[in-house]
Amino acid sequence: MGQVLETGIAMGSLYSLMALGMVLIFRTTNVVNFAQGAMAMMSTYIAFAFLTSLHWPVWAALIAAMASSLALGALVERVFIDHSSRPSAPIASLIITLGLYSVLEGVATIIWGANPTAFPWTLNGIFWHRGHLVVSTNDAATFAVTLILVVGLFALLRWTRIGLAMRAMAQDASTAQLMGISLAKISSSTWALGSALGAVSALFLLPITYLQPTMMDTALLLAFSAAVLGGFSNLPGTLLGGLIVGVLESLVGVYVSNQLQNTVVFALIIVVLYLRPQGLLGRHDIKKV
Amino acid sequence: MLKLENVFVAYGHIQAVRGISLTVPDHSVVALLGANGAGKSTVLRAVSGLVKPREGNIWYKEERLTRLRPPRIAALGIIHCPEGRHVFTDLTVDENLIIGGYARRDKASLRRDRDWILGLFPALAARLRQRAGNLSGGEQQMLAIGRALMGAPQVLLLDEPSLGVSPRIAHLIAQVIGQIRSHGTAVLLVEQNSAIALSVADYAYVLQTGQIRLQGTAEELRHNKEVEASYLG
């Protein structure tokens, strides 16, 4: 049981990171980024390319992957997202992210092929164990990195200039402009940050998914579910949603059936949304007139 | 000096503003009066860049505002305090004020302005850590004005500050507008409540269906029966 929970929390942390990226992007720019998984996948392939073709050391390849994920996020925002105030703009952007999702997977397949490949470098070994409970090094690193990123993200939003601007833009973009905030800058920074959170998630998922163009498909669905569970614009709710999804997936996999993992997760989400349409920690805003 | 020359603004096929020219001299309070839908707010939105005029020019000193985006215009010191307050309800009162000074880097004068603003609105000073969404309507209006002042406006575009607040708060806001002017800031004030507006303004324009119907010093317009008539359409 302890082991099942440990695995669930580790997976859940990674879904949370993906989902936090999506929610961050959605709150600020009103776009659900369905390409979140595919963009993250591209970053792991970039790390792979730096390691195998250019023979960079691991740390340098990982930094390159992170830098490329930041750049890719900003680039996608600049090039593809419809910034006009036309009523159809959010829908257009949504379709674009769906399109981008399949285009990126296609591009990766053309360049690297569709076969699952083991990433040439992994965090092997056991970090800690007692009795039957084993925490692998990869899981320990997952916990540490998730904790650092989540605390960092909340600190950024709470105490920095750019974080404050992101929150202001999330609430009322038009008024934020009147305060001298450049929506273009904040929007692309948000996409860069959201994309990078996805890339971290993908790097830690590698030992399970292997390197392949579709590696993030399931994670995307589960992260999306986590975000919905959290209310889709609530960051603590999203974090909680990810952990719940991860633990549930792990429990169902062990005690029910591997095949039913996603089914049960989605069934639970339907039930939760029926009971709490605003999500777990979401709240109805009362507008004062 | 802020100057509008023959400005036309349309939303789709609806002509909201049809050929308006007006000036806001430095250190003055200029009121834009008129009924609902006369185009008053649209004039402010055109100045701050939220809508682009179809025709005409808007100048601030030597700068042509019609070519600039809203954040650039705000950085020039033309700050728009929008109708309906639009405070960031999820942010604290303090954070709303910080956002108001977002474009400024001059820490010392920022702190001076903040002290001055909290002096104008002591109610805000007592609620700095509260979510702005928990403030009353009147307090939110004070916050919206305070936030705009944090941008160190040369020209403050103030849209319907007395809308939906108690007479006591409306009176306080009228006093504050006077203090803002003494502070060296020009104010372009949009109001439906002409009595309040004319009590603080130096000069006023009365708008009707997107055009200027009347203009004159506040003193002249206070006694003009046509001002009342223009509200009835």
- Name the residue in chain B with its Cα closest to that of A169: B88
Given a contact cutoff of 8 angstroms between Cβ atoms, the answer to whether A181 and A48 are in contact is: no
Give the integer Cα–Cα distance in Å for A279 and A228. 7
Q: What is the side-by-side strand order in the sheet with B29-34?
A: B78-81, B155-159, B186-191, B29-34, B203-208, B211-217
How many residues are present in chain B?
233
Tokens, residue A129: 């164990």
Give the integer Cα–Cα distance in Å for A114 and B232. 72
In a domain, A155, yes or no: yes
Residue B100 near chain A (CB below 8 Å): yes
Residue/partner pairs of B108-112 with CB below 8 Å, 24 or more apart:
B109/B152, B110/B150
In a domain, A171, yes or no: yes
Give the integer Cα–Cα distance in Å for B177 and B159. 12
Give the list of residues 6+ apart from residue A230 with CB closer than 8 angstroms, or none. A19, A23, A236, A237, A238, A239, A240, A241, A242, A279, A280, A281, A282
When CB atoms are compared, the residue of B69, B88, B151 closest to A168 is: B88
Give the integer Cα–Cα distance in Å for A200 and A191. 14
Give the residue numbers spanning the domain of A32.
2-114+131-213
How many residues are present in chain A?
289
Read off the DSSP letter of residue B91.
S
Contact criterion met (CB < 8 Å) for B86 and A161: no
Give Cα A242 to chain centroid, integer Å. Answer: 10
Domain count within chain A: 1
| pLDDT for the residue numbered B232 | 57
> Mutate which of B44, B80, B88 to test chain A, going by most A C-beta atoms within 10 A?
B88
Q: Which of A222, A217, A224, A214 is nearest to A105 (CA)?
A: A214
Given a contact cutoff of 8 angstroms between Cβ atoms, the answer to whether A11 and A246 are in contact is: yes
Give the integer Cα–Cα distance in Å for A203 and B173. 56
Given a contact cutoff of 8 angstroms between Cβ atoms, the answer to whether B6 and B20 are in contact is: yes
Residue B133 near chain A (CB below 8 Å): yes
In a domain, A264, yes or no: no
| pLDDT for the residue numbered B230 | 73
Residue B64 near chain A (CB below 8 Å): no
In a domain, A57, yes or no: yes
- Name the residue in chain A with its Cα closest to that of B83: A175
Measure the CA dihedral B161/A161/B132/A176, to 10°.
40
When CB atoms are compared, the residue of B82, B102, B151 closest to A165 is: B102
In a domain, A263, yes or no: no
Give the integer Cα–Cα distance in Å for A170 and A179. 14
Q: How confident is the prediction along chain B (233 residues), in pLDDT tens digits per residue?
A: 999 999 999 998 999 999 999 999 999 999 999 988 899 999 999 999 999 999 999 999 999 999 899 999 999 999 999 999 999 999 999 999 999 999 898 999 999 999 999 999 999 999 999 999 999 999 999 999 999 999 999 999 999 999 989 999 999 999 999 999 999 999 999 998 899 999 999 999 999 999 999 999 999 999 888 887 777 54
Return phi, psi of residue A135, to 5°: -110, 115
| 10-residue mean pLDDT series, chain A (289 residues) | 94 98 94 96 96 94 97 95 76 92 97 94 89 93 97 97 96 94 95 98 95 96 93 92 95 91 86 87 55
3-state DSSP call for residue A232? Answer: coil
Read off the DSSP letter of residue B92.
B
Contact criterion met (CB < 8 Å) for A179 and B50: no
Contact criterion met (CB < 8 Å) for A288 and B151: no
Read off the DSSP letter of residue A71.
H
Read off the DSSP letter of residue A114.
S
Residue B136 near chain A (CB below 8 Å): yes
- Name the residue in chain B with its Cα closest to that of A185: B71
Tokens, residue A19: 């989902």
In a domain, A122, yes or no: no
For chain B, the straight-line distance linking the first and the last C-alpha, in angstroms and rounded, comes to 31
| pLDDT for the residue numbered A225 | 93
In a domain, A178, yes or no: yes
Give the integer Cα–Cα distance in Å for A190 and B72. 21
Instruction: Please state whether the predicted TM-score (pTM) of the whole model is above 0.95.
Output: no
3-state DSSP call for residue A139? Answer: helix
Given a contact cutoff of 8 angstroms between Cβ atoms, the answer to whether A25 and A194 are in contact is: yes
Residues facing B30 on adjacent strands = B188, B203
Q: Which of A236, A225, A166 is nearest to A25 (CA)?
A: A166
Measure the CA dihedral A95/A96/A100/A103, to 10°.
80
Read off the DSSP letter of residue B131.
B
In a domain, A197, yes or no: yes
Give the integer Cα–Cα distance in Å for B113 and B115. 5
